Structure 1
């Protein structure tokens, strides 16, 4: 007889106990990030049930399957409420891919290396901003809190580096759906973000010279349709997360640059669009302008981290 040391519900009990005690470590069998630093592999940090959906669901859902309304109940506790509703009631389908166990494949190389190099060096100052321990300087790159102890530390990991690169640019096709289900507006645009602090690939270090008081420049410009072509906006983020960004825009019809009130970030920047500047990465506002972040639970989760590169497809960008 083979008795499993970690039965099916071990992980659930483990996370519930840690949450109740206010403990926040990411690993189950051992501390996660020291293990990642040594091997890059998470295998020894988690029991079998957290490394295979087939093991977790006792064979009811496995890699290669598609999660639909017919089987979503088996993974309900692994989905956020919105995703569960979309699958169970709205026809969404989720393809199950094998888990990525090599953490180096989940981050850009430079960001990953900076995270390992700088772990343990970040603290929140008296205002709640992330600074380097002992110096009070802006953050120096990578995820500042690999083992976050509260909601603010967890959210800082997203806010300080949206795309995990010093500079990122994305080509976006936007289709806005009306109440009757038809496409009412279509746009093509470019989205660019450039950090000025917490840099990981800059040859002169973690800061852009003279820009240490800022976090990033973020811009969006439209290329289609013709009546919106050339319309562009620039967000200038201050490093102090208590302050809102400065917002500037160029409107071709007026051939001028104007400054917009910062709350324009919560409004459509062109007619009909339902994506706002404040939506970026679910962290489009400085993190201290909202506040009251709380960790309400910890546990395993189905995410979209594995196998998301589809460069072989003609329309992939």
Structure 2
């Protein structure tokens, strides 16, 4: 009997082998990042079952379908556990869209170009901070470790360059629901982030002069409802990732600026909000205030990568569904991501942390 090398389960075996042996390097049929540099398209790095959900599930769920409680068991291994629970028990549904293979649709151009240009120039110093090889200077832009060799290197790609842009600004609305699906709090706010280092679009170079010892500044300000309008916060994150950020805020009711204890990263900024400073980009804390980073999983995943811009909706707000009153989940689209890393870490700097 002749066993084909690239049979249906080849990628599963390869991912398991790499995980157990500690071998890194993305891509199955060929190395991913050289392919990206040459063609800008990731399709040729993966076999068909990692490019199409229809192929992966052997036709049970396909692009264009909705994942619901009726078919979620066929893709359970591709979903985060909480997403599986939401679909299976809480009425969530997720539209499946085709995989995005054009890398320029997944990264801002300047950030992608810096990642390719600076590949191989990053190292972790003796305490774990990302620095430029040989010089020891702060990072100069793009992902520092496109092919990470450890859990900490992998997480550095988020912890150091999470926003992917030099400066970002967001306008947002927030609804906080009770267990019964009722709106208990509703806020309008804006947020801004400015990188101090690893800048990729600044003609003056990768560093904001005079701020090279900082990683980024993030600000949040609330404009409604009236009782919190004007409430604002500034979070200053040091480049040395062992240091806690400096968090100051203005509270209109007290008409003064006060400093907040930033080791309490899991406290709400205003009543009712359940998104905390620690949650931003899934990397809101300085990465060395967490520890014991490990790569514990590798393989495909269903996740939101595209088709989630609702420009034709009023105020760009998507529709909702699910939960007790049809308001618990946004209408969202997921696609098959061919290869992801699962990183485990512990909040070693946060004895009160409710998560790990």
TM-score, structure 2 length as denominator? Answer: 0.85
In structure 1, runs of 5+ residues without a counterpart are none
- 1:178 positional shift: 2.2
- 1:81 positional shift: 1.2
Which residue of structure 1 aligns with residue 76 of structure 2? 76
Counting only pairs closer than 5 Å after superposition, residues 115-130 of structure 1 correspond to structure 2 as: 115-130=115-130
- 1:183 positional shift: 1.2
- 1:181 positional shift: 2.8
Counting only pairs closer than 5 Å after superposition, residues 145-156 of structure 1 correspond to structure 2 as: 145-156=145-156
Which residue of structure 2 aligns with residue 100 of structure 1? 100
Question: What does the per-residue CA deviation read over 1:148-167, in whole Å, with 9 as the maximum and x for residues that have no partner?
Answer: 11111111111112221111
Q: How many residues align?
A: 315
Change (3 A) 1:43 1:273: closer
Question: What does the per-residue CA deviation read over 1:6-58, in whole Å, with 9 as the maximum and x for residues that have no partner?
Answer: 22211111101111111121100111001100100112211111111111111
- 1:5 positional shift: 5.1
Which residue of structure 1 aligns with residue 297 of structure 2? 297
Q: Is the 8 A contact 1:68 1:88 kept in 2?
A: yes
Q: Does residue 1:221 correspond to 2:221, yes or no?
A: yes
Distance 2:214 2:264 in 1: 20
Which residue of structure 2 aligns with residue 240 of structure 1? 240
Paired residue secondary structure (1:296): strand
Counting only pairs closer than 5 Å after superposition, residues 254-265 of structure 1 correspond to structure 2 as: 254-265=254-265
In structure 2, runs of 5+ residues without a counterpart are 318-356
Question: What does the per-residue CA deviation read over 1:52-74, in whole Å, with 9 as the maximum and x for residues that have no partner?
Answer: 11111111111101111111111
Distance 1:42 1:213 in 2: 36
174-183 or 22-31, larger mean C-alpha shift:
174-183
Paired residue secondary structure (2:302): coil
Change (3 A) 1:93 1:4: farther
Distance 2:69 2:316 in 1: 28
Which residue of structure 1 aligns with residue 36 of structure 2? 36
Taking CA–CA contacts closer than 8 Å with sequence separation of 6 or more, which of the two structures ends up with the larger relative contact order?
2
- 1:215 positional shift: 0.2
Which residue of structure 2 aligns with residue 192 of structure 1? 192
Distance 1:50 1:4 in 2: 17
Paired residue secondary structure (1:240): coil
Which residue of structure 1 aligns with residue 252 of structure 2? 252
Which residue of structure 1 aligns with residue 325 of structure 2? none
Q: Is the 8 A contact 1:98 1:306 kept in 2?
A: no
TM-score, structure 1 length as denominator? Answer: 0.96
Distance 1:4 1:103 in 2: 30
Question: What does the per-residue CA deviation read over 1:256-315, in whole Å, with 9 as the maximum and x for residues that have no partner?
Answer: 212122134421221222222222111111000011111111111111113233333332
* RMSD (CA atoms): 1.4
Distance 1:239 1:230 in 2: 29
